[in-house]
Amino acid sequence: MQISPNGKNRKYNAVITGVGMYVPEKVLDNKYFESIVDTNDEWIMTRTGIKERRILENGATSTLATEAVKDLLRSRNLSPEEIDVIIVATVTPDMFFPATACLVQDNVGAKNAWGFDISAACSSFLFALRVGSGLIESGLYKKVVVVGADKMSAIVDYTDRNTCILFGDAGSAVLLEPTEDFSYGIQDSILHVDGSGRNSLYMLGGGSMNPSSHETVDKKMHYIYQDGKAVFKVAVVGMANVSYEIMQKNHLCSEDVAYLVPHQANLRIIDATANRMGISRDKVMINIHKFGNTTSATIPLCLTEYYRNGKVKKGDKLVLAAFGAGFTWGSIYLTWGMD
């Protein structure tokens, strides 16, 4: 039994040993939005940092998730039968039930896996990564796949300029495996929910509070509603503070951190978080300009792209951070374990 850097008595740390991603081909650029709502490229770029986003024309969230997992398996040369658990982080499941994880399990042929979905809005991937790591740390499972996937275009009102420009569709996945070398893997996490923020960002229709009816459809209750200004204020403080707190707690100074890996909702929120941590832009993973806010997929998508571009190396200390509806927010500190 080893004592981890966080003082936890356990044999294993969970480490990311594979990544995968899928983005649909169809691109919606800012010019397109100029043709459907009263907006312009300059407003979108300066207020959000988004230039374009991808939209899935045929298929559902399970399509995005399945392709991401297949990409992961291919890149690691793994057989789907080796997967023990599949966790899908999403706010746009294919349907209420069965869980999207079941569809992904069947699609990829993961015959020996069990799984489930996790819903925590834009913090879904962080929460799922924490839960998946716990399953590895327990010693019960050897290969846990954590997928972040959202088909946001399914719940976006393309007549509402406040929200339609923000979101895109994507799926991305990581593989967690055990390591007895505690210098690698998930080192610490600080996660929060505060349900008193539930009225600032939500989708009201279709649940048990407002079951689907002609009225819920007429009232556009199956679309995202966001009080952007209110969310912005809490997101800036929440994401910046929790990222700073995890650095303090783990005695990390800004030079120790190779990358901040923030949820990609708004470049101004990302900059505020980096400033609070004392981290320069070149040490922040950013792809919001290409994909917009893909909710559960943003963080693994950044990890996959930066790793495959050779920008992350073994031993790099990363701070992951997210904020989302609920409110939900948090930070995970990990040490990269792949060459």
Residue 229 as a binder of ligand COA (CB under 6 A): the answer is yes
What DSSP letter does each residue of 116-184 carry, written as one string? EEE--GGGHHHHHHHHHHHHHHTTS-S-EEEEEEEEGGGS--TT-HHHHTTB-EEEEEEEEEEES-TTS
Residue 232 as a binder of ligand COA (CB under 6 A): the answer is yes
Burial label for 313, CB within 10 Å (0-12, 13-18, 19+), is exposed
Among the listed ranges 22-30, 79-87, 158-166, 169-177, the one in contact with ligand COA (CB under 6 A) is: 158-166
Residue 203 as a binder of ligand COA (CB under 6 A): the answer is no
Among the listed ranges 179-187, 224-232, 283-291, 309-317, the one in contact with ligand COA (CB under 6 A) is: 224-232
Residue 237 as a binder of ligand COA (CB under 6 A): the answer is no
Residue 243 as a binder of ligand COA (CB under 6 A): the answer is no
Residue 228 as a binder of ligand COA (CB under 6 A): the answer is yes
Query: Shortest approach of ligand COA to residue 16 CB, angstroms?
Result: 23
Residue 293 is among the residues annotated as catalytic for this protein: yes
Alpha-carbon distance of 131 to 27, in angstroms, equals 33
Taking CB under 6 A as the criterion, the residue among 24, 185, 324, 326 binding ligand COA is 324
Nearer to ligand COA, 175 or 235 (CB): 235
Check residue 299 and give left, alpha or beta (phi > 0: left; psi -120 to 50: alpha). alpha
Chain centroid offset of residue 285 CA = 13
Nearer to ligand COA, 41 or 316 (CB): 41
Exactly one of 13, 102, 164, 263 is catalytic; which is it?
A: 263
The neighbouring-strand residues paired with 190 are 331
187, 190, 191, 193 alpha-carbon torsion, rounded to 10°: 170
Nearer to ligand COA, 21 or 165 (CB): 165
Query: Shortest approach of ligand COA to residue 271 CB, angstroms?
Result: 12
Residue 122 is among the residues annotated as catalytic for this protein: yes
φ and ψ at 181, to 5 degrees?
A: -90, 105
Alpha-carbon distance of 43 to 178, in angstroms, equals 46
Nearer to ligand COA, 105 or 295 (CB): 295
Alpha-carbon distance of 156 to 169, in angstroms, equals 11
Residue 161 as a binder of ligand COA (CB under 6 A): the answer is yes
The conformation of residue 105, written as its DSSP 8-state character, comes to: H
Q: By Cβ distance, which residue is nearest to ligand COA?
A: 228
The neighbouring-strand residues paired with 226 are 201
Query: Shortest approach of ligand COA to residue 245 CB, angstroms?
Result: 19
Residue 214 as a binder of ligand COA (CB under 6 A): the answer is no
Considering CB under 6 A, how many residues would be counted as binding ligand COA? 20
The conformation of residue 249, written as its DSSP 8-state character, comes to: H
Residue 39 as a binder of ligand COA (CB under 6 A): the answer is yes
Nearer to ligand COA, 102 or 239 (CB): 239
Nearer to ligand COA, 85 or 170 (CB): 170
List C-alpha distances in Å: 80 to 64, 179, 216, 219. 17, 21, 41, 43
Taking CB under 6 A as the criterion, the residue among 5, 32, 47, 76 binding ligand COA is 47
Among the listed ranges 96-104, 144-152, 230-238, 278-286, the one in contact with ligand COA (CB under 6 A) is: 230-238
Give every CB contact of residue 145 below 8 A, 6+ residues apart in sequence: 69, 72, 83, 85, 86, 87, 110, 113, 132, 173, 174, 175, 176
Exactly one of 102, 122, 164, 302 is catalytic; which is it?
A: 122
Amino acid at 41: D
Tell me which residues are annotated as active site. 122, 263, 293
List residues near ligand COA by CB under 6 A. Answer: 39, 43-44, 47-48, 122, 161-162, 165, 228-229, 231-232, 235, 265-266, 269, 293, 323-324
